[in-house]
Amino acid sequence: MVQVEAASSTSGQIRLTRHSSFYWRVTLDIPPLNIFGPQSLPQLNEIVTALETDEEVRVVVFDSAVDGFFLTHYDFLAKPEDTTDLPPGPTGLQQLPDMLVRLSRAPVVSIAAIRGRATGVGSELALASDMRFASREKAILSQWEVGAGLVPGGGPMARLPRLIGRGRALEVLLGADDIPGDLAELYGYVNRALPDAELDAFVDALATRIASFDKQAIAETKRLVNIASLPPDAEIAPEWDAFLTSVARPAARARIKTLMERGFHRPGDVETRLGYHVGQIGH
């Protein structure tokens, strides 16, 4: 097994491990909470570019090295200009939605192995992946943003209704609550929820199986499924703009401030039960 690390930040890294030339794993390791911020964007971009351009890779699995967290929300302690000043990506979209769109379109099968919280950006990365498998006991998916006065920015309004239907998508997005693995499976938010002890072996077996197939057949089949199922960029673009606009609104700032005072961005109950806590802000 050959391991290659993407550029790391002071607070953590997104590690790329090549199990073989055909099967890669991307491990999210940004302790203590796997918060995604502008420092993570070049790391993810490097990996997505490699997936687009490598002639041999056929499958990539996203997983986490941080206990309790697959990938959480965007970094609200980062300077806004560290995000807003970044140039658009190759699709013309801003960098985070650009990379998620490119991941969905890459000629590689992407699988999210969700153990812990997939909150905000984590949910959006999972939705941009081709398949999602969750720990029945430990996975939590959440689009929490509306509860904090925000608009989600990474494409869930375009992707979720296609995946789980309009009513359930609105329940997830507007309810802003935590969705455990078994309910996520029932709704179709994930492909399957498996017993936690079986998740890794199942995902590894599926990834290894697909990696043994012909790359051209995989890529062409995925391309045709994409035509029938992926949202156009015109539906993705407004979400990031709406997110940035919402961050500046007084209502959102007040709610984020309240969350910060209660322990947001720090290990503890707010991050562990974010769905519960955003539901308490207005009471």
Given 46, 55, 56, 145, the catalytic residue? 145
Q: How far apart are the C-alpha atoms of 268 and 187, rounded to whole Å?
A: 28
User: Is 198 annotated as catalytic?
Assistant: no
Straight-line distance from the first to the last Cα atom of the chain, in angstroms, rounded to the nearest whole number: 52
User: Is 145 annotated as catalytic?
Assistant: yes
Which H or E element spans position 201? helix 196-211
Which residues, in sequence order, are CB contacts of 50 under 8 Å at separation 6+? 16, 57
Burial 63-85 (b: 16+ CB within 10 A, else e): bbebebbbbbbbbbeeeeeebee
The three-class DSSP label of residue 232 is coil
Q: Give me Rg for the CA atoms of the chain.
A: 18
Q: Of the candidates 137, 140, 144, which has an alpha carbon nearest to the alpha carbon of residue 176?
A: 144
Given 124, 185, 239, 271, the catalytic residue? 124
Structure tokens at 177: 């609550």
Catalytic residue numbers? 124, 145
